[in-house]
Amino acid sequence: MEKGELLYEGKAKRVYRTADPRYYLVEFKDDATAFDGKKRGVIERKGFYNNQISAYLFSLLARSGVPNHFVRVVGETQMLVRALRMFRLEVIVRNVAAGSLSKRLGIEEGTPLFRPVVEYYYKDDALGDPMVNESHIEALRLATPGQLQVMQEAALRANGILKTHLAGRDIDLVDFKLEFGVDNGEILMGDEISPDTCRFWDRDTGEKLDKDRFRRDLGGVAEAYAEVYRRLVGNTRGFGQNQ
């Protein structure tokens, strides 16, 4: 599928139209930012790893009954997706305290949570993506209560599926961020599921295998992405290329 007009360029991805209005082409970049773009860098081959890892995890979710925008991989750093109108929301699911939750509530990183925590953030760079609750979302018309219910259920189901699958690859799913959109009235998961948007900790050593290595200057950033790719996608190089 040919790349058409550039529709949107974000910090880590470009989205292009295609000849078919039902589909977009997403291109993953090596660029990395953190802290609302205040920290910038490049992670070698990140575009490739995030494309392949997202494709793998989206396929897993689709097979397990969690619908999402992924159609197929069309290049090393590119995937074809269903064209969605995105909600201006980030949905975060947490299994273990880390990051902003630990900071805000004073809970030591690594403390298991008694149940998964679901949080919503309003996507607005100028405001620094503030946290919102269900009544804000309804009052500001960011989504209807029915739509939010669908997103919350999908996020919790995805959490169960991903957690179990990753555990089989010796990875603890600490937390992750999802985004959703609408196509023809159907609510689908969109965006990406990658070490940029998840916290992955090695089961045995607790080593961080995600973007926290970049955020916190821990070194071995590209190596961590490569390790997640190796554990998940393994030797099936160019996953989805011929599907």
Q: Which residues bind ligand ASP (CB under 6 A)?
A: 11, 33-37, 211, 215
With CB under 6 A as the contact rule, the residue among 92, 151, 158, 189 that binds ligand TMP is: 92
Tell me: does residue 214 bind ligand TMP (CB under 6 A).
Answer: no
The number of residues in the chain equals 243
Any idea what the Cα angle at residue 130 is, between residues 126 and 136, rounded to 5°? Answer: 120
What tokens appear for 123 in the block? 């996507």
Strand partners, 70: 81
Residue 20: CB minimum distance to ligand TMP, A: 29
> Smaller CB distance to ligand TMP: residue 23 or 87?
87
> Smaller CB distance to ligand TMP: residue 136 or 237?
136
Say which entry of ligand TMP, ligand ASP, none residue 193 contacts (CB below 5 to 8 A, set by partner kind). Answer: none
Say which entry of ligand TMP, ligand ASP, none residue 83 contacts (CB below 5 to 8 A, set by partner kind). Answer: none
Question: Within positions 174 to 203, which residues make up the interface with ligand TMP, using CB under 6 A?
Answer: 175-177, 197-199
Q: Residue count at the site for ligand TMP (CB under 6 A)?
A: 12
Tell me: does residue 154 bind ligand TMP (CB under 6 A).
Answer: no
> Smaller CB distance to ligand TMP: residue 22 or 216?
216
Residue 138: CB minimum distance to ligand ASP, A: 26
Task: Report how far residue 199's alpha carbon sits from residue 78's, in angstroms, rounded to the nearest whole number.
Answer: 23
Question: Within positions 118 to 137, which residues make up the interface with ligand TMP, using CB under 6 A?
Answer: 129
> Smaller CB distance to ligand ASP: residue 10 or 220?
10
Contact 78, 26 (CB under 8 A): yes
Say which entry of ligand TMP, ligand ASP, none residue 232 contacts (CB below 5 to 8 A, set by partner kind). Answer: none
- Lookup result for tokens 């074809």: 80
Write out the residues near ligand TMP by the rule CB under 6 A.
Answer: 92, 98-101, 129, 175-177, 197-199
